[in-house]
Amino acid sequence: MRKLYIVKTTRQFDDIIKTGKCYKNKYFVIYNKDNNLKYDRFGISVTKKLGNAVFRNKYKRIIRSIVDNYKKLYINHKDYIIILRKDAIDCDYELLTKELFSLLNHD
């Protein structure tokens, strides 16, 4: 994922979470908000409660991979914050892909 497509600053994260729409399932919480750009941006968060830095970075890479593989299917000019839940730890890649994709297409 190119840096252009990433929500990075805390201010942007907070703004999307406070003013955006929220969709939840057993594995993810997704906040989204319209942006004025020609592309989507994504922010990924994995809480410290789930594991150490190596574990969190592994799951961020997995989610980033899913987003990269399917981002052309849901271009709608929004900013997304994707938060991993505890139940997603025991799931395989295919299930995570299916669940994340269903939430991204919820609009």
pLDDT tens digit sequence for 39-79: 889 999 999 999 999 999 999 999 999 988 877 776 788 89
Cβ atoms < 10 Å from Cβ of 79? 21
**pTM of structure:** 0.89
Spatial distance between the Cα atoms of 100 and 50, rounded to a whole number of angstroms = 18
Map out the domains of the chain with their CATH numbers: 3-104 (3.30.230.10)
Whether 3 shows a pLDDT value over 80: the answer reads no
Cβ burial, residue 88 (10 Å; 0-12/13-18/19+)? buried
Q: What is the mean pLDDT of the chain?
A: 89
Spatial distance between the Cα atoms of 36 and 59, rounded to a whole number of angstroms = 29
Percent of the chain with pLDDT over 70: 94
